[in-house]
């Protein structure tokens, strides 16, 4: 059994045990950061984030309501137009009586009225215009609430069972040591992705990410079934999730090491995809508080409302989120904008915690993107990476390799990736996305991936314990730079807390683009909640609202 | 043998001596190399491939098994081929590729205001993948989209936009350029959509000047611009930087008299 696949295959000059040399925590001694400044940064992030949470609590979206139906077990699509039944049902309820009370009250009220054996039949009739929905009141409302809650109990029982199954799989195989090696698969065809993902796992990947088809984030529905056609990626569908998780379970057992699966809960269907990820035991999900707004021009309000619900579902499912701060540095300068990364991380932390995510589920992101022509660029990277490590000591930080300064010179790129790996090892990053020397040229060749893994293995073996053997001098360049970025972060957070986060986003504070609160896609899917709004999922997800359900666990 | 600059136009690769023809090459073969026997076969196969590619002699300097089924090779060798510079064909774009910084600078110096781009997919085409790849900050092929340019203002109308709405919006926004992406090609839908747009803009009297019309999509042939009645056609694989460079070339030419 090729359990030693993380080591070099036959033909490598140096035998490789596959184990990084350093014990966990063998990292750079702490830089001196003023705890009062760190505390101030967190307070300001909360001040900036709280009004957003209030908005999310007082609104819903079409995608949140569709996620409710998915958690109740409504799957599949209309064979006529290919549109998922959840879209048809939510649209029909919206047309009939609006969504201000949520989809659950009218939908289960209609089910209780009889004539439909289940949600799918109801959705089909609703799509044909044969159902008149109403918002029930009094005893009818209580009955609908009880029926909806019972229906969702099934979905949450499945999510809980999936979480227990993950824990059992990890016990049966093994949890790989950190840093976890993260590799990407993206053929567009799930049946091509599967053997590639298994090969990547055998080559040493601890995490497989299946990149989504370009533009899926802008679809206001989740495609159905196993898909074989995508643009530069593979559609996120429930069936694709299921197929890939099953394939990785197979290879996890073969390797004696649990291989995690990652996908994307971003875009217009964030809550639904989060639900499907929980139902199919994905392990990590890209879920950033502002990525869709900045890079996909999705409406800010829609994004924040969808995001809160999706993170609540991730929290319940034991999924680690990955945030997308690395993206800012692909547009903005990595030195000048270093503090925007920290600001976004603090916001992601606040929103994540508020939604119930544990520290161990906060895979905050950052990246090694400083122009290598800048003097002391490695020291600057070291300062940034160590600052993030110290600010979020328990978080499984995700560190992204250089992309912007990968020029096509594969030899120089290989060296840059080695420095990235070294910085990651020195600063105890938890998840290393492995850099490809052919970044920006093509989808990685088999050999590109193999060379990239050889690179990271060498660095961890040779210098995994370097951190505990050096000490950046107090008051030296690295420490001063970390302090400076932290100070700049506090300044920016102060401005955001004063002006409001939506205003800051509208002014182009993050990335380089202005995104006004009422612009972008998906605003028409945002609905203000009425007084009697009811979401049966909240019974299971809100810590204060779901005591009875949570108390059982 | 070879020497540019002394009138000769025939050259060879340069390793460490003029005319030695030495090159390097790396590739993967779907062959195992776990055992000594397998490795000998794999090395032989790599050398044969290199010879057939014109490397003679070829030296396999590195052989590495990648999993049970594949082997990676690095090969050095001598190529006999000659390159005659007189025969080198250079594909000419009518515009130079510029960096984002150069493009922003040029717009500032030549226009003195933002360059306004309105983009959409029109008609029944629900695919926004093309227009988003060019316009969204996220971009495509490692390049950021036009939204990321400080001096370009982008109005992305998305998919299934009626031609009339596109024209009206272009007028309202004082668009310098209109970008249309069409992916659906059944019954040449992309061709007729492009022609409709060109006609609609030529009939529109509410504008002092017609915006630059640019269409793109995977099935368009860049040679069709005239036939379609548009200014430029971009085909498969176009990057945001190419489009931005073209827009600047067409709309913000270098001010006269500036030093070269």
Is the predicted pLDDT of residue B137 greater than 90, yes or no? no
Say what angle helices A377-391 and A410-426 make with each other, to 10 degrees. Answer: 40
Answer whether A220's CB lies under 8 Å from A269's CB. yes
- The reported pLDDT for the residue numbered B3 is 45
CA dist A343 and A90 (Å) reads 36
- The reported pLDDT for the residue numbered A279 is 98
- The reported pLDDT for the residue numbered B255 is 75
Of the listed ranges A288-302, A399-413, B133-147, the one predicted with least confidence:
B133-147
Is the predicted pLDDT of residue A342 greater than 80, yes or no? yes
- The reported pLDDT for the residue numbered B30 is 96
H or E element: which one contains B61? strand B55-66
CA dist A78 and A56 (Å) reads 31
| Among the partner residues A2, A8, A214, nearest to B129 by beta-carbon distance | A214
Give the residue-averaged pLDDT of B187-198. Answer: 82
Which residues in chain B are closer than 8 Å to A231, comparing Cβ atoms? Answer: 129
CA dist B177 and B196 (Å) reads 16
Answer whether A10's CB lies under 8 Å from B33's CB. yes
The parent domain of residue A314 ranges over 35-39+265-506
B65/A440 touch (CB, cutoff 8 Å), yes or no: no
CA dist A122 and A131 (Å) reads 8
Residue A233 lies in a domain: no
Is the predicted pLDDT of residue A548 greater than 70, yes or no? no
Which residues in chain B are closer than 8 Å to A9, comparing Cβ atoms? Answer: 34, 64-67
| Among the partner residues B28, B34, B141, nearest to A447 by beta-carbon distance | B28
A36's tokens:
């009062």
The neighbouring-strand residues paired with B75 are B25, B60
| pLDDT, greater one: B20 or A548 | B20
Which residues in chain B are closer than 8 Å to A331, comparing Cβ atoms? Answer: 137, 144, 148
Query: Which residues of B are known catalytic residues?
Result: 138
The pTM of this model reads 0.84
CA dist B236 and B217 (Å) reads 6
Secondary structure of residue A68 in the 3-state scheme? helix
pLDDT tens for A87-111 read 999 999 999 999 999 999 999 999 9
H or E element: which one contains A239? helix A238-255
Residue A190 lies in a domain: no
A214/B140 touch (CB, cutoff 8 Å), yes or no: yes
What residues of chain A have any CB closer than 8 angstroms to a CB in chain B?
A: 2, 5, 8-12, 199, 202-203, 214-215, 218, 231, 294-297, 327, 330-331, 403, 439-440, 445-447, 450-451, 511-513, 521
Residue of B nearest to A407 (CA): B142
Instruction: List, in order, residues 6 or more apart from B27 with CB less than 8 Å away.
Output: A447, B46, B49, B72, B73, B75
Of the listed ranges A59-63, A454-458, A474-478, B8-12, the one predicted with least confidence:
B8-12
What CATH number should be reported for the domain whose range is B100-251? 3.40.50.280
Is the predicted pLDDT of residue A7 greater than 90, yes or no? no
Give the residue-averaged pLDDT of B82-88. Answer: 91
> ∠ CA A39-A43-A48 to the nearest 5 degrees?
145
Residue A251 lies in a domain: no
Say what angle helices A190-203 and A446-463 make with each other, to 10 degrees. Answer: 30
CA dist A198 and B259 (Å) reads 58
A331/B67 touch (CB, cutoff 8 Å), yes or no: no
Instruction: List, in order, residues 6 or more apart from A122 with CB less than 8 Å away.
Output: A89, A107, A110, A111, A116, A131
Give the residue-averaged pLDDT of A318-334. Answer: 88
- Provide the number of structural domains found in chain A: 2
Which residues in chain A are closer than 8 Å to B65, comparing Cβ atoms? Answer: 9-11
pLDDT band at B188 (very low <50, low <70, confident <90, very high): confident
Q: What is the ipTM of this complex?
A: 0.80
Specify the fold of B10-86: Defensin A-like (3.30.30)
Is the predicted pLDDT of residue B208 greater than 80, yes or no? no
A457's tokens:
């293995």
| Among the partner residues A2, A331, A439, nearest to B137 by beta-carbon distance | A331
- The reported pLDDT for the residue numbered A546 is 38
Q: What is the CA radius of gyration of chain A?
A: 24
> Can you tell me which residue has the tokens 């029926």?
A147
A295/B138 touch (CB, cutoff 8 Å), yes or no: yes
| Among the partner residues B133, B147, B158, nearest to A513 by beta-carbon distance | B147
Residue A95 lies in a domain: yes
A171-206 core/surface letters (b: 16 or more CB in 10 A; e: else): eebeebbbbbbbbbbbbbebeebbebbbbbbbbbbb
- The reported pLDDT for the residue numbered A271 is 98
Hey, of B60, B136, B149, B241, which one would you mutate to test binding to chain A, going by the most A CBs within 10 A of its CB?
Answer: B136
Where exactly are the structural domains of chain B?
10-86, 100-251
Q: How far apart are the first and last CA of chain A?
A: 38
CA distance B139 to chain A (A): 9
Q: What percent of chain A has pLDDT over 70?
A: 93
Residue A68 lies in a domain: yes
Residue A179 lies in a domain: no
Is the predicted pLDDT of residue B41 greater than 70, yes or no? yes
CA dist A140 and A146 (Å) reads 10
Averaged pLDDT score across all residues of chain B: 87
A vs B, Cβ pairs < 8 A, gives 78
Which residues in chain A are closer than 8 Å to B26, comparing Cβ atoms? Answer: 447
pLDDT tens for B224-237 read 888 889 999 998 88
Is the predicted pLDDT of residue B2 greater than 50, yes or no? no
Q: Which of A182, A258, A291, A350 is catalytic?
A: A291
Is the predicted pLDDT of residue A350 greater than 90, yes or no? yes
CA distance A216 to chain B (A): 9
Give the residue-averaged pLDDT of A377-392. Answer: 97
B68/A2 touch (CB, cutoff 8 Å), yes or no: yes
- The reported pLDDT for the residue numbered A472 is 93
Which residues in chain B are closer than 8 Å to A296, comparing Cβ atoms? Answer: 132, 136, 138
**Is the alpha carbon torsion for A248, A249, A253, A257 positive or negative?**
positive
What residues of chain B have any CB closer than 8 angstroms to a CB in chain A?
A: 26-28, 33-34, 39, 63-68, 70-72, 127-129, 132-133, 136-138, 140-142, 144, 147-148, 150, 156, 158
Closest CA to B118 of B99, B131, B130: B131
The neighbouring-strand residues paired with A84 are A77
- The reported pLDDT for the residue numbered A366 is 96
CA dist A504 and A454 (Å) reads 43
| Among the partner residues A297, A439, A447, nearest to B66 by beta-carbon distance | A447
Residue A16 lies in a domain: no
| Among the partner residues A2, A296, A450, nearest to B66 by beta-carbon distance | A450
- The reported pLDDT for the residue numbered A321 is 98
Is the predicted pLDDT of residue A552 greater than 50, yes or no? no
Residue A388 lies in a domain: yes
Answer whether A450's CB lies under 8 Å from B66's CB. yes
């Amino acid at each position: 059994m090729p359990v030693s696949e993380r080591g070099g295959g036959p033909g490598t000059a140096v035998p490789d045990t596959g184990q990084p040399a350093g014990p966990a925590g063998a990292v750079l001694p702490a830089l001196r950061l003023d705890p009062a400044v760190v505390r101030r940064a967190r307070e300001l992030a909360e001040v900036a984030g709280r009004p957003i949470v209030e908005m999310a609590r007082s609104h819903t979206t079409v995608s949140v309501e569709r996620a409710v139906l998915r958690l109740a077990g409504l799957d599949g699509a209309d064979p006529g137009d290919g549109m998922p039944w959840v879209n048809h049902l939510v649209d029909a309820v919206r047309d009939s009586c609006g969504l201000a009370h949520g989809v659950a009250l009218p939908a289960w009220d209609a089910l209780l009225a009889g004539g439909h054996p289940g949600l799918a039949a109801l959705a089909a009739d609703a799509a044909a215009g044969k159902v008149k929905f109403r918002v029930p009141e009094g005893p009818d409302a209580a009955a609908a609430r009880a029926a909806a809650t019972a229906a969702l109990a099934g979905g949450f029982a499945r999510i809980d069972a999936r979480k227990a199954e993950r824990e059992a799989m990890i016990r049966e195989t093994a949890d790989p040591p950190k840093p976890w090696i993260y590799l990407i698969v993206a053929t567009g065809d799930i049946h091509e992705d599967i053997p590639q993902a298994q090969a990547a796992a055998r080559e040493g990947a601890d995490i497989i990410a299946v990149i989504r088809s370009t533009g899926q984030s802008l679809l206001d529905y989740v495609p159905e079934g196993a898909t074989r056609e995508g643009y530069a990626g593979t559609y996120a569908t429930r069936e694709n999730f299921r197929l890939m998780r099953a394939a990785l379970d197979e290879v996890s057992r073969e390797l004696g090491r649990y291989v995690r699966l990652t996908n994307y809960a971003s875009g217009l269907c964030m809550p639904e995809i989060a639900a499907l990820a929980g139902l199919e035991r994905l392990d990590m999900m890209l879920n950033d508080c502002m990525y869709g707004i900045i890079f996909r021009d999705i409406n800010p309000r829609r994004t924040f409302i969808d995001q809160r619900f999706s993170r609540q579902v991730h929290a319940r499912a034991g999924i680690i989120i990955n945030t997308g701060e690395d993206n800012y540095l692909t547009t903005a300068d990595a030195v000048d904008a270093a503090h925007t990364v920290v600001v976004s991380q603090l916001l992601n932390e606040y929103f994540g915690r508020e939604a119930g995510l544990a520290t161990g589920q906060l895979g905050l992101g950052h990246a090694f993107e400083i122009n290598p022509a800048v003097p002391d660029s490695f020291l600057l990277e070291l300062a940034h990476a160590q600052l993030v490590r110290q600010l979020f000591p328990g978080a499984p930080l995700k560190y992204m390799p250089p992309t912007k300064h990968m020029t096509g010179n594969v030899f120089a790129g290989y060296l840059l990736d080695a420095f990235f790996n070294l910085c990651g090892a020195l600063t105890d990053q938890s998840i290393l996305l492995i850099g490809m020397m052919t970044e920006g040229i093509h989808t990685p060749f088999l050999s590109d991936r193999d060379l990239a893994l050889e690179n990271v293995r060498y660095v961890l073996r040779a210098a995994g314990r370097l951190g505990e053997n050096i000490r950046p001098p107090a008051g030296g360049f690295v420490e001063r730079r970390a302090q400076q970025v932290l100070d700049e972060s506090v300044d920016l957070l102060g401005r955001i807390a004063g002006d409001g986060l939506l205003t800051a986003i509208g002014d182009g504070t993050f990335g380089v683009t202005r995104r006004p609160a009422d612009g972008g896609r998906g605003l028409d899917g945002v609905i203000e909640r009425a007084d009697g709004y009811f979401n049966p999922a909240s019974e299971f997800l809100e810590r204060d609202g779901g005591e009875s359900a949570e108390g059982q666990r | 043998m070879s020497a540019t600059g002394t009138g000769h136009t025939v050259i060879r690769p340069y390793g460490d001596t003029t005319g030695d023809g030495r090159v390097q090459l790396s590739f993967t073969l779907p062959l195992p190399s776990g055992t000594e026997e397998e490795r000998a076969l794999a090395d032989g196969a790599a050398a044969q491939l290199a010879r057939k590619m014109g490397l003679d002699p070829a030296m396999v300097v590195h052989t590495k098994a990648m999993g049970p089924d594949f082997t990676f090779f690095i090969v050095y060798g001598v190529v006999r081929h000659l390159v005659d510079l007189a025969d080198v064909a250079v594909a000419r774009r009518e515009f130079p590729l510029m960096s984002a910084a150069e493009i922003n600078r040029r717009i500032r110096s030549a226009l003195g205001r933002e360059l306004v781009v309105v983009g959409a997919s029109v008609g029944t085409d629900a695919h926004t993948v093309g227009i988003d790849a060019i316009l969204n900050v996220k971009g495509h092929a490692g390049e950021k989209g036009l939204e990321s340019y400080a001096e370009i203002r982008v109005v992305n109308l998305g998919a299934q936009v009626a031609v009339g709405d596109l024209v009206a919006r272009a007028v309202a926004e004082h668009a310098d350029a209109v970008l249309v992406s069409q992916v659906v090609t059944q019954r040449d839908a992309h061709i007729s959509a492009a022609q409709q747009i060109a006609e609609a803009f030529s009939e529109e009297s509410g504008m002092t000047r017609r915006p630059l019309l640019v269409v793109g999509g995977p099935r368009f042939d860049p040679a069709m611009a005239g036939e379609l009645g548009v200014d430029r056609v971009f085909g498969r694989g176009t990057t945001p930087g190419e489009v931005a460079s073209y827009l600047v070339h067409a709309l913000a030419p270098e001010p006269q008299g500036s030093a070269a």
